[in-house]
A = this chain, B = another copy of it.
Amino acid sequence: MRKYTIGLDFGTNSCRALIVDITDGKEIANYVHPYSSGEAGVITDSNDNNLARQNPADYIEGIEVSINNALKKANDRDVNFSSDLVIGIGVSATSSSVMPIDETGTPIYFKEEFRDNKSAMVWLWKDHTSHNEANEITELAAKIRPQYLAKIGGIYSSEWFWSKILKCSKDDPAVFKSTHSFIEISDWLPAQLAGITDTRKIKHNICAAGHKAMFNKEWNGLPDEEFLIQLSPNLKGLRERLYDEAYSSNTTAGYLSKEWAEKLNLSDKVVVKVGAIDAHMGAVGAGIKTGTLIKILGTSTCDIMIQPNDKPIADIPGVAGIVDGSVMNGYFGIEAGQPAVGDIFLWYVNNHVPEKYGNSVDEKFKNLESDAAELKPGQSGLLALDWNNGNRSTLVDVRLTGLILGQTLHTQPHEIYRALIEATAFGALRIIDRIEKYGVEITDVINCGGLAVKNELLMQIYADILGRPMMVSRSEHTPALGATIFASVTPGDSTGGYPDLVSAQSKMTGIGKTYLPNPENKKVYAELYELYKQLYDGFGIRNNNISMHNIMKHLLEIRDSVK
């Protein structure tokens, strides 16, 4: 008898429900529901580009619409499928996407008085309003708790849990005062599905806790009360209303509530697993194992690795986090990333490409890609930094911006488009260099996420710049697939799932296409990478004295030589 699981993936703009046959990971049905609020699901502020919030009601609506539609599709397409063969639901979500809640886990935003208040909404991962607070946390920790920083790459980010809480406490005392606790949506959503109405009973995921909230067993969980009070007296007493245990996604968060079971026409015996950060779920869905770097290439990029936890692991400066069990039990999870990759291309194509490349964004992308594919490495003379949304790894600095140089009076948009792709690849290589420098060996790279599947030019450039084969995951929806894999692990019960994660993963994942590096391109890119590093360090590192004088000249020489 076949069994099925559902993976829910809460992205930046939409929510996806994926139904798979757990025998082989075959994706039976898939439904995407765009969020209703804001601009593509994001509430922004024209006075503050840093602000990005979400409406929690969008998620609830998303669960119902996406699961019901996916179930309908599954029924239509797979004669074996039936709703009562669904044995579990897994949840993947962005992080830190944090929201203030009351004692029952109800969003403060749902209260009448805060209905128009952005401070009461979900503070989305890419909300950078708290960059000053991130600096305050980094500075205080460097002074009195250096051990906190060692596990998160040395610098606390404005994208993370405590920055957002601290900023909320300053921006809006009324909201803060009405708040019992703050919660990651990757914790809140499983709790909602399981009908948990007591915050003390919610199981928090180690993935977000460890990578974003400085949770670590070495110091008994979250940062200590003294540290938090010194950060701000506002935070006094909050710690004990948060959590002191955190779990990997193997763990059962609960079982589908009666209410949800009815709405979705599923059994209330369906297990709901503890959630995790989308990138980490994606890594599992892409087939992560020791030595394999998983790159999740989307609007932003996450780089995930695992190392067995039976040996200690060095701290890696500028790499966002090393957390025991954050990806899989028994392994350290290592996370790094770039805060804008696809977002840079979207920004560029949406705003800066004239209609001679096409009338729609899709046409423009297509024509830019085919024109850019005609260029040789170095031929445009351009070099760019991929910092339009700051730099996460290896600089951990949101106060950085984009740069492009080498323009002449002949420079064309498809040349800029290619330079932007190259910049993201150089940025990716900088992360690999850093991880390898600290003794973590990278033998393979598996890519997943929208860009890996859709953008062949990008994947070839990545192979040429990273100088190694770029494998692409068979699944186009690895975070949701990862969630289904966790939901398929049901040790010690009779539901028909797998006894452990590794068995589930090996059956349910696979490689699609592989891009091999072109030796000639690799050589030119190695030369360009030296110039990229020079720009990167010159603009990115404090107290350097790197001269830039050679850069434009060297680019022109490369351009002349490849012609």
Contacts and interface: CB of A to CB of B under 8 A. Distances in A.
Interface stretch (A207-215, A406-414, A465-473): A406-414
B49 A410 contact: yes
B353 A555 contact: no
B401 A555 contact: yes
Contacts of A546: 545, 547-548
A405 interface: yes
A544 B550 CA distance: 10
Contact of A400 (B340, B353, B354, B552): B552
Nearest to A390: B408
A413 B545 contact: no
* Chain multiplicity (copies): 2
A401 B407 contact: yes
A549 B542 contact: yes
B548 A548 contact: yes
A350 to B, nearest CB: 9
B549 A547 contact: no
B354 A409 contact: no
A140 interface: no
Interface in A527-563: 538-549, 551-553, 555-556, 563
A406 B401 CA distance: 5
Contacts of A406: 401-403
A134 to B, nearest CB: 14
Given A49-B408, A347-B411, A544 B549 contact: yes
Nearest to A563: B47
User: Which interface class (under 10, 10 to 19, 20 to 34, 35 or more) fits A?
Assistant: 35 or more
Given A404-B404, A547-B538, A343 B49 contact: no
Given A343-B409, A344-B409, A399 B539 contact: no
A280 to B, nearest CB: 24
B549 A541 contact: yes
Contact of A544 (B387, B404, B547): B547
A354 B357 CA distance: 10
A112 interface: no
A279 B353 CA distance: 35
A49 B400 CA distance: 33
A546 B548 CA distance: 8
25 contacts: A47-B563, A343-B409, A347-B410, A353-B354, A387-B552, A389-B408, A399-B556, A401-B405, A401-B407, A401-B555, A402-B407, A402-B411, A403-B405, A403-B552, A404-B404, A404-B407, A405-B539, A538-B548, A538-B549, A542-B549, A545-B545, A545-B546, A546-B547, A546-B548, A548-B548
Given A351-B354, A388-B407, A402-B411, 8 more contacts: A352-B352, A353-B354, A401-B407, A401-B555, A404-B407, A540-B549, A546-B547, A546-B548
